[in-house]
Chain A
């Protein structure tokens, strides 16, 4: 086993772990009860799986075929920056449309700030 084969093995392992995490994320989207927990599953683990898969592809092309692909690194940076923001915006839009939480939810501290009558005062206070 020479150096390039070890590199390809590491790259393949990274891609395998990334795809397993993607499957776990998909199962989480199906199994979780409401929007917020689903966006938790969809955002975090999908981002991690994409990062691992892209990094595996990057290592494969770098060690296996000696191509240093800056585009894959840019893609990693881009997904790492944008996917959590997309999850944040989707769940915030859902919260502001008063989408129901799961029945097991115990506490909702943001409700008083956003939806109650005294919301105007606290908003002006915070600005």
Chain B
């Protein structure tokens, strides 16, 4: 068999992954006023991490990112549930949301909404589900 020589793929991956991760964070943050949101941001982050898995192999990536992706699912669901339960403290119905305008030093006046927190929960859940499914299918020996 041939010895793998993945220099071109690996070099390109290490450049491309920054674009993918940055764009996925952009999609997560821009979801309120333009196309984007938690779901597609999570899918894009998962695709970036999968590209790392494809080009560098699972052994190296598990050393760099020692995350159990199965744990991300309950964490994301708890975040989403927490934003719903948080509305009880202000005596409003379940999953009520609000927003406010905040003066942030560098970025100027920004609109901060609590729907963003729910989106973060969706993002973490989608990331965990996608990576759990694909990594458990693609692996053939037990680890």
Contacts and interface: CB of A to CB of B under 8 A. Distances in A.
Interface of A: 71, 74, 77-78, 81-82, 85, 88-89, 96, 114, 123
B23 A74 contact: yes
Main secondary structure of the interface of B (DSSP, over half): helix
Interface stretch (B7-15, B65-73, B74-82): B7-15
20 contacts: A71-B23, A74-B19, A74-B23, A77-B19, A78-B16, A78-B19, A81-B12, A81-B15, A81-B16, A82-B12, A82-B16, A85-B8, A85-B9, A85-B12, A88-B8, A89-B8, A89-B9, A96-B2, A114-B2, A123-B3
Nearest 6 pairs of A and B residues by beta carbon = A85-B12, A78-B19, A88-B8, A85-B8, A96-B2, A81-B12
A89 B9 CA distance: 8
Contacts of B16: 78, 81-82
Nearest to B22: A74
B35 to A, nearest CB: 10
Contacts of A123: 3
B23 to A, nearest CB: 7
A16 B139 CA distance: 46
A82 B15 CA distance: 10
Contacts of A77: 19
Nearest to A77: B19
Interface string B44-81: 00000000000000000000000000000000000000
A111 B85 CA distance: 66
A70 to B, nearest CB: 9
Nearest to B12: A85
Contacts of A85: 8-9, 12
A93 B105 CA distance: 52
Contacts of B23: 71, 74
A123 B5 CA distance: 11
Contacts of A81: 12, 15-16
